[in-house]
């Protein structure tokens, strides 16, 4: 989706930065380091926790479990437990979770276009801060 295709959403007035503002909820969702990654990984269908952890890489079992529980309580994913020996658990996106793929894809497109420039600017800024620290 391009900027020209995107349409701003008009929310009922909530005041400045009200905790229950829907726009703030959207920003808070993307503030979680792993939530968007898990949604993206589940885009093609259900996965077991071990498969998710392997596919994601760099996430601890504890953090994966916490994030999955939070996402389940937010109705972004569903947990399916199968009565097998040993028990099998899978997670899949709900409709709300699948709807998050659109902004995730848009953010990916943005990162593809501008990521190198942003990273370079961050590294330059970090170098400048380090040089200033060394000169004092």
102: CATH: 1.10.10.10
Query: Distance of CA 39 to CAs 9, 68, 85, 120, Å?
Result: 23, 10, 28, 28
5 lies in some domain: no
7 lies in some domain: no
11 lies in some domain: no
Q: HEC profile for 15-43?
A: CCCCCCCHHHHHHHHHHCCCHHHHHHHHH
41 lies in some domain: yes
Angle at CA of residue 36, ends 33 and 12, nearest 5°: 100
The pLDDT mean for the chain works out to: 86
65 lies in some domain: yes
How far is the C-alpha of 128 from the C-alpha of 85, rounded, in Å? Answer: 58
Full residue range of the structural domain in which residue 102 is found = 22-134
pLDDT for 122 beyond 70 = yes
| pLDDT tens per residue, range 76-107 | 999 999 998 888 999 999 999 999 999 999 99
79 lies in some domain: yes
Residue 16 CB neighbours (<10 A): 5
| pLDDT tens per residue, range 16-38 | 556 667 777 788 888 889 999 99
101 lies in some domain: yes
Indicate the number of domains in the chain. Answer: 1
1 lies in some domain: no
């Amino acid at each position: 989706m391009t900027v020209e295709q995107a349409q701003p959403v008009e929310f009922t007035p909530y005041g400045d930065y009200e905790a229950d503002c829907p726009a703030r909820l959207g920003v808070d969702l993307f503030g979680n380091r792993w939530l968007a990654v898990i949604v993206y990984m589940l885009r093609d269908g259900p996965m077991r926790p071990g498969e998710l952890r392997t596919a994601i890489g760099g996430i601890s079992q504890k953090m994966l479990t916490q994030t999955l529980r939070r996402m389940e309580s937010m109705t972004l994913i569903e947990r399916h437990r199968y009565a097998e020996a040993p028990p099998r658990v899978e997670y899949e996106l709900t409709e709300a979770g699948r709807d998050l793929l659109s902004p995730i894809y848009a953010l990916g497109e943005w990162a593809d276009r501008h990521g190198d420039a942003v990273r370079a600017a961050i590294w330059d800024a970090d170098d400048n801060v380090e040089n200033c620290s060394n000169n004092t």
